[in-house]
Structure 1
Amino acid sequence: MSVAELPRVAGKLTANAPLAPLVWFKSGGCAQWLFEPKDMEDLQSFLRNLDPATPVMALGLGSNMIVRDGGVPGVVVRLGKAFAKVKPVDAITLDCGGGASGILVSSTARDAAIAGLEFLRSIPGTVGGFVRMNGGAYGGEVKDILVDCDVVLRDGEHANLSVEELHYSYRHSELPDGAIVVSARFRGKPGEPSSIQAEMDRISESREASQPLRSKTGGSTFKNPDGHKAWQLVDEAGCRGLQIGGAQVSEKHTNFLINTGDASSADIEALGEEVRRRVMAKSGIDLQWEIQRVGEVK
């Protein structure tokens, strides 16, 4: 697919764009095309005029994702600064751009004296990813704070979806395929900025103490099965420190895989599958991936 076959854009369109620098694992192949839209109108126009057969994938901070070594066909859409604004709507509600980080959202909530959004401080990602995956941590989930979201559908049309229409479950929503979240409204409750900051500090310290944040990782690898903790099942199956190539199960938190330096995405995914096999053999529980795995095997 040549640039001449693609719709004209006001933003930035890059062929064969390396995705490894854009994801936390720092591994994987290229996007056939990487599109960074100038604004919502640019995004809508591009999708409206793009061949419907061309696959489209949204990319946030790439924190909970394995990009396979063969790269991602079609177009990867990355929302930039134009989609990263956060502002209060009323005394307890924020309007958040799809490209805004959890740190920005929680800090803006603190400054506006809105409590209940502190947990977003601990999730490495953007609003778009939080909404898609029902992001959660430290007792909070997006389904508890989301009012509604604006999305651009694969055909370029705009839609507003309420929290009820997303039919949330654990780390899952029924967001339409190919839809890109461009903004969302999060509602908290009245709070004191000093108390909100104290809770954010507590969450940050807890996370620092228990997770390998200084490593090239992808966050929580597996979903917690009903009645179980994924990390405990992995540990009990003897997988702490297990290594394949440059990929390793974290010694610090066994539900994290890390790239020790030069791991391929194939190493990381193979390690995850080996962990799943060992947990099944030990406990009979079929661990499900929480990390998204996208693209083609090399």
Structure 2
Amino acid sequence: MALPFVAMAEDQKTSDEDQINWTKEKQFWSFQPPMAQARPAVKNKRWPSQRLDYFILARLEQKNLSPSMEADRRTLIRRVTFDLTGLPPTPPEVRAFLSDRRPNAYPKLPLVRYAEDQAHQVGSDSTMFYPNAYRYREWVIDAFNRDLPYDQFIRLQLAADRYRPSKESSPGPSKEENSSGATNDAPVLGGAEGGSNDLAALGFIGLGPKYYNRGRLEVQADEWEDRVDTVGRAMLGLTVACARCHDHKFDPITMRDYYALAGVFASTKMVNKTADGKIIEGKVNADKMPPNTFHMVEDG
């Protein structure tokens, strides 16, 4: 038997003061576009070696603090290596760095795959694996190495299949798909290199969790939530997924905002797709997945 409805007393009802002022909240500093700041004046003009140092030193001097002493090179390589790999540098790496006296001689550290595993396997079922997940990792590394502009870095991870690089542009009106999966009248990603290899960027979302019973709507909704949460945290710095059940309690994100974004992902599908555009249908064991397969999300 259901509990009887009890009307809320007048003094218990939500007042206007308890409502979120969305206009005011959106004025918070983190939602404002960054503005160029004048370089602050500092007393110790010998310490800064780059523009950012002036801002750090100005705040230190404001607190009557002084910068720490510069670390010696042996300490530096240990700090950098631990930060980037979680492991100490090898003796050859230490010797190579100590003998390189260039001012910008930071170590070229090996790209170790530390703590990568397949912990999500259940029994002998490997159809839920992402055997080519490393392709996304390598794409990110390559993007940094070729100094890919940040706006393109974001666009490709969200919609690489909907863009085509400049070198694949076609002057005609044809809508024939190119090797990246985008039609020839799709937006040109100015200055981008690659093409079909950029499909690996879609692993940003395509490598998300896959649940059993994926045909059920509530299971699909959980997958959409993960994608909303991933994009919100990584690219907006916000926990947007909190608004799945209620307006966000700390940030100006409403349930309407959440479901607008979740609706975008509701019109996508997770696929395994080769570089030539072929979709690998059905469940495939990891050891039988073609080596040139990308794990991605696309319109569908």
User: Normalising by structure 2, what TM-score?
Assistant: 0.23
Structure whose residues are more often strand by fraction:
1
Structure whose residues are more often helix by fraction:
2
Structure with bigger gyration radius: 2
More relative contact order, 1 or 2 (CA 8 Å, 6+ apart): 1
